Amino acid sequence: MTARLYPAYVYSRSQQAGVVAAENHLALTNPTGSGKVILLGGVFVSQVAAGAVAVTDPLRGWLATSVSGGTLEAASTIGKFRSTLADPAAQIRIDGVTATLGAPWFNSPPLLSTGAASGTFVHQVPAALPGGGSITLYPGESTVLRTESGDTDQRFNLSIAWLEVG
């Protein structure tokens, strides 16, 4: 049996500041016309607090469409699992992203603190089920990492990994 290696990528952002209002912190989009299918590998979330944080809303992952706005990250900010890979078809958007949200698919608990503090763990969110496959993004589909409310003392470390097939 020959193992097939698909192009695999990871995007990682550190110290993403929290905001008081609802915020789409990061979107991974399979652009319309890409000719690719994106298979999510997982999301990794950790948090620190620069001061007291009492917000109880989790960071959530959502399925989404019609993603636009924000800052489109350069392909050079996306890690390739093998240096010989082409740049990804996927797009990463941050800061001020708008989206039409579908169903949520994960919750990452908030860090509550009375002062500056570190999170005690990295929340590893798998995106696949044995025998069921991965969460799949077809062209025009996205996943968005979002908080409904927050605190400016929150700092999120966010990473997302995926494969591109096609």
This prediction has a pTM of: 0.92
Q: How many domains in the chain?
A: 1
Using the structure block, give the residue that is written with the tokens 């997302």.
Answer: 160
Using the structure block, give the residue that is written with the tokens 């636009």.
Answer: 68
Q: Mind giving me the DSSP string for 64-91?
A: EEEEEEEEEPPGGGSEESSTTSPPPS-E
Give domain status of residue 2, yes or no: no
What the block records as the tokens of 15 is: 């110290």
Give domain status of residue 21, yes or no: yes
Q: How much of the chain exceeds pLDDT 90, in percent?
A: 66
Give domain status of residue 4, yes or no: no
Average pLDDT, the chain: 92
Going 50 to 107 to 16 to 67, the CA torsion angle's sign is negative
Give domain status of residue 3, yes or no: no
Residues of the chain with pLDDT under 50: none
Contact partners, residue 138, CB within 8 Å, separation at least 6:
30, 37
Q: What is the pLDDT of residues 43-67, one digit of tens each?
A: 999 988 888 888 778 899 999 999 9
Domain with 129, as residue range(s), is 9-165
User: What does the pLDDT read at residue 33?
Assistant: 97
User: What does the pLDDT read at residue 5?
Assistant: 84
